[in-house]
Amino acid sequence: NGCTHNTYKITVIPGDGIGKEVMEAALHVLNASGIEFDYTFADAGDEYAEKTGVALPQETIDAVKKSQACLFGAVGESAADVIVKLRKELDLYVNLRPVHSYGKAGKFGDVDFVIVRENTEGLYSGHEEYTDEGATALRITTRSATRRICDFAFDYAKKTGRSKVTAVHKANVLKKTDGIFKEVFYQTAEKYDDIESNDFYVDATAMYLVTRPQDFDVIVTSNLFGDILSDEGAGIVGGLGLLPSANIGDKNGVFEPVHGSAPDIAGKGIANPSAMILSTVLMLEYLGEPDEARKVEKALVETIDEGKIVTSDLGGSSSTMEMAEEVARKLSKL
Amino acid sequence: NGCTHNTYKITVIPGDGIGKEVMEAALHVLNASGIEFDYTFADAGDEYAEKTGVALPQETIDAVKKSQACLFGAVGESAADVIVKLRKELDLYVNLRPVHSYGKAGKFGDVDFVIVRENTEGLYSGHEEYTDEGATALRITTRSATRRICDFAFDYAKKTGRSKVTAVHKANVLKKTDGIFKEVFYQTAEKYDDIESNDFYVDATAMYLVTRPQDFDVIVTSNLFGDILSDEGAGIVGGLGLLPSANIGDKNGVFEPVHGSAPDIAGKGIANPSAMILSTVLMLEYLGEPDEARKVEKALVETIDEGKIVTSDLGGSSSTMEMAEEVARKLSKL
Ligand SMILES: CC(C)[C@H](C(=O)O)[C@@H](O)C(=O)O
Ligand SMILES: CC(C)[C@H](C(=O)O)[C@@H](O)C(=O)O
């Protein structure tokens, strides 16, 4: 409609199993959008490692570094060597995970909160050692990484009109590491007068997510806690098939579903493509295309709400691509 | 009815806040049982620390060591210095947490699984250090502690007629520490032909507990994962007011509700005493009084099922002691 758009350089890493299937589906939807993309396909994952001995080749890292954003499907057993390494290599220090219920309100009612997960340190630091008795792993908390993730959480709350940020930690036991997390969180909170702040222990939070998920708005937490709580959030809004995520740094963004490569259903063409499609929505927002992001989201939500051309986990019997085609059809009319 | 019972030596640590209230309630119920107890009351917690500067005095530790079992209410901010220390000092290496739905089946249906949480190491080892950039905490996994907790889990499954044990870990990221956990788990499983075994990542488990809690039977996991998942389990069966736990070692047992001292409702006499009463049920089993354990449980479950004389979190309007009196009344008729 007259306006010119950029052509965005995107690295696409389909990966393993259903990663490839949901990626094909998501790209099909993006093709129906008003935006142009210049895709570079790149390798990573179990299959690639089997052939080459390397799960994440340097060319893939370089490709992601050179592109404006990366779409990532899912990888199998090599996930820690691929996605965790990518997060660290590119210093993608934020893992943003919106937990939003779509479709008919389930048994948890309408749920809408966002988990801001620290993405570079904690127990993901890779400092593990064998000892005489077994092994040890180092949980690392730095003030600088804590500060930037808390800053991001409050900024994000402000930008998106959310009113509360909750820090989740275990400072009663992890007095030093999570003591710092809590302290830096409240220092950050002081800079944001109009945003409410509170904090809970991670165990209590795991309960509250079940008993009163509506009480949460933005959650900011360390790496592994964010990992656990976001999967729990997936359970609350109806399964991993619906949860997207954004790995964001100062220079790059990598967008991936929270789900994995699901070897049990891979190859059947029945995976729910929603989480991957919603990951492209997060990418469009990141690229500064909020209008297009809203359209893709709307086309998907309408498809889910109608409940006709959806995958089996959503109560339908359509294939991954049939659902994607329906979303694309709706999108092209918006 | 003619048979003689032992008089059991029990240390009672009411602690802080609702700890004191639910303890009074539970002792009232035990008084209506057919068993005799010789109670020694001992101090621990925030209130005691305020007066003396020490949260867990040596006399309390000694008292617990000398008694056959200990009933523990709840303590406040000093919990890590009290209960975590007690677990370590007495080498109470098992934290047994049955997650059982009582009363009308809630939105999760009937739920009945048991979490066997390693209780002495992991991130609770107390090895935290400040560094130039922040702080580090050491997650310790020893083969010996892993072996005894896995042994306990399979033994427990066998003894209680359960058919499956699930290991929960994060071995894709924590390859060494949780690699050992997984390896030792499957070594143990080999010794138990008739018990099924499988394993999940902790994040996936956090989701499955919400989406299909019926799939779990016995869960065995490391310290912090057990902490998080048991609170999530509490949410699934209707709140922390219903979850008991047993800290068990080769010589002692400490029985405590999973809930804390709940400063927000302390002093009002409205706390649900069920978790503490169910903790006495676990104690009775531990003492070798399974018949009496079943009776106390039955009296409580009937009270909850009737739903008349119950606390507000269970939909009633009775006080802590009114509910305990009702349970005691029912118990004395069994
Ligand atoms: C696959 C795994 C390494 C990864 C993680 O633990 O971060 C995944 O669970 C996630 O949440 O993105
Ligand atoms: C109070 C706290 C130290 C304790 C723990 O983390 O173990 C509690 O949450 C529990 O689960 O018993």
Q: Domains of chain B (ranges plus CATH)?
A: 1-90+252-334 (3.40.718.10), 94-113+121-237 (3.40.718.10)
Residues B87 and B94: their CA atoms lie apart, in Å, by 9
CA of A227 to the centre of ligand 1 (A): 6
Q: Is B244 in contact with B275 (CB distance < 8 Å)?
A: yes
The reported pLDDT for the residue numbered B321 is: 98
Residue B161 CA to residue B173 CA, distance in Å, equals 34
The helix-helix angle for B18-31 and B320-332 (nearest 10°) equals: 20
Question: Pairing between strand B164-169 and B196-201?
Answer: parallel
What is the Rg, in whole angstroms, of the alpha carbon atoms belonging to chain B? 20
Q: What does the pLDDT read at residue A1?
A: 46
Q: Is B274 in contact with B242 (CB distance < 8 Å)?
A: yes
Which residues of B are tagged catalytic? 124, 170, 203, 227, 231
DSSP 8-state secondary structure symbol assigned to residue A214: G
> Could you tell me the sign of the dihedral formed by the alpha carbons of A274, A278, A279, A283, in that order?
positive
Report the alpha-carbon distance of residue B233 to residue A244 in Å, rounded. Answer: 25
Interchain CB contact of B210 with A (< 8 Å): yes
Tokens of B87: 């677990």
Q: Is residue B217 left, alpha or beta, with left meaning phi > 0 and alpha meaning psi from -120 to 50?
A: alpha
CB contact under 8 A, B174 and A137: yes
| Extended beta strands in B188-258, E state | 196-201, 218-221, 244-248, 253-257
pLDDT value at position A3? 56
Report the gap between the CA of B70 and the closest CA in chain A (Å). 22
Encode chain A (334 residues) as per-residue pLDDT tens digits: 445 567 999 999 999 999 999 999 999 999 999 899 999 999 999 999 999 999 999 999 999 999 999 999 999 999 989 999 999 999 999 999 999 998 765 789 999 999 999 999 999 999 999 999 999 999 999 999 999 999 999 999 999 999 999 999 999 999 999 999 999 999 999 999 999 999 999 999 999 999 999 999 999 999 999 999 999 999 999 888 899 999 999 999 999 999 999 999 999 999 999 999 999 999 999 999 999 999 999 999 999 999 999 999 999 999 999 999 999 999 999 9
The 8-class DSSP code of residue B110 comes to S
Task: Give the residues surrounding ligand 1 with Cβ less than 6 Å away.
Answer: A 79-80, 83-84, 227, 258, 260; B 172-173, 203
**CA distance linking residue A59 with residue A65, whole number of Å:** 10
Q: Ligand 1 pocket: which of A83, A123, A230, A245 to mutate (most atoms <8 Å of CB)?
A: A83
Q: What angle do CA B30, B33, B38 make, to 5 degrees?
A: 55
Q: Whose CA is nearest to atom 1 of ligand 2?
A: B79
- Distance separating alpha carbons of residues A177 and A192, to the nearest angstrom: 24
Three-state secondary structure call for residue A14: strand
Query: Which of B139, B142, B204 lies closest to A123 in CB terms?
Result: B139
Q: How many angstroms separate the most distant Cα atoms in chain A?
A: 69
Tokens for B222? 């490391």
Tell which atom from ligand 1 comes closest to the C-alpha of B203: 9
Residue positions counted in chain B: 334
CA distance A328 to A201: 42
Atom of ligand 2 nearest to the CA of B87: 7
Residue A146 in contact with partner chain B when CB distance is under 8 A: yes
| CB atoms near residue A47 (< 10 Å) | 20
Comparing CA positions, the residue from A78, A74, A28 lying closest to residue A56 is A78
Q: Which atom of ligand 1 sits closest to the CA of residue A226? A: 11
In chain A, what is the straight-line distance between the N-terminal and C-terminal CA atoms, in Å? 12
A210 and B206 within 8 Å at the Cβ level: the answer is no
Q: Are A285 and A269 in contact (CB under 8 A)?
A: no
Neighbours of A66 (CB within 10 A): 11
Joined together, the tokens standing for residue A240 give 């991993």
State whether the Cα torsion A281-A283-A286-A287 is positive or negative: negative
* Cβ–Cβ < 8 Å for A69, A255: yes
Cβ–Cβ under 8 Å, residues B63 and B40: yes
Determine the Cα–Cα distance for residues A271 and A314; give it in Å rounded to an integer.
10
Question: Are A326 and A303 in contact, with CB atoms under 8 Å apart?
Answer: yes
Query: Residue A272 and residue A230: Cα distance in Å, rounded?
Result: 18
Residue A232 C-alpha, separation from nearest chain B C-alpha, in angstroms: 4
- The verdict on whether A81 is a catalytic residue reads no
CA dihedral A207, A212, A217, A222 (to 10 degrees): 0
A116 DSSP β-pair partners = A96, A220
Q: List residues bridging with B128 in a β-sheet.
A: B137
pLDDT in tens, chain B (334 residues): 445 567 999 999 999 999 999 999 999 999 999 899 999 999 999 999 999 999 999 999 999 999 999 999 999 999 989 999 999 999 999 999 999 998 765 789 999 999 999 999 999 999 999 999 999 999 999 999 999 999 999 999 999 999 999 999 999 999 999 999 999 999 999 999 999 999 999 999 999 999 999 999 999 999 999 999 999 999 999 888 899 999 999 999 999 999 999 999 999 999 999 999 999 999 999 999 999 999 999 999 999 999 999 999 999 999 999 999 999 999 999 9
Give the rounded distance of the alpha carbon of A125 from its chain centre.
Answer: 19
The pLDDT of residue A40 is 97
Q: Clarify whether A227 is annotated catalytic.
A: yes
Is B117:B97 a contact under the CB 8 Å cutoff?
A: yes
Q: What is the DSSP string of B289-309?
A: -HHHHHHHHHHHHHHHHH-SS
Q: Which of A139, A144, A258 is the best residue to mutate to test the B interface, defined by the most B CB atoms within 10 Å of its own CB? A: A139
pLDDT digits (tens, 9 = 90+) for B20-79: 999 999 999 999 998 999 999 999 999 999 999 999 999 999 999 999 999 999 999 999
Task: Please say whether the beta carbons of A318 and A326 come within 8 A.
Answer: yes
pLDDT score at B34: 87
Tell me the CA–centroid distance for residue B20 and ligand 2, in Å. 18
Taking the alpha carbons of B165, B168, B174, B177 in that order, is the dihedral positive or negative? negative
Rounded Cα distance, A68 and A38, in Å: 10
Choose among A305, A309, A306: nearest CA to A317.
A309
* Block residue for tokens 């990366």: A70
Residue A147 in contact with partner chain B when CB distance is under 8 A? no
Query: A87: part of which helix (H) or strand (E)?
Result: helix A85-89
pLDDT attached to residue B5? 61
A319-to-A237, A311, B68 alpha-carbon distances in Å = 21, 6, 61
> What percentage of chain B reaches a pLDDT higher than 90?
94
Strands of the sheet containing B128-130, edge to edge, are A128-130, A134-142, B134-142, B128-130
Torsion of CA B182, B185, B187, B192, to 10 degrees: -150
CA A18 vs CA A231, A263, A272, B85, B331: distances in Å: 18, 7, 9, 46, 56
Q: Which helix (H) or strand (E) holds B169?
A: strand B164-169
Whether the model clears a pTM of 0.85, i.e. scores above it, the answer is: yes
Please tell me whether residue A305 adopts helix, strand or coil conformation.
Answer: helix
Residue of B nearest to A171 (CA): B80
Mean of per-residue pLDDT scores for chain B = 95
At residue A50, the pLDDT reads 97
Amino acid in position B285: E
| pLDDT attached to residue B1 | 46
How far is residue B132's CA from residue B30's CA, in Å, rounded to a whole number? 53
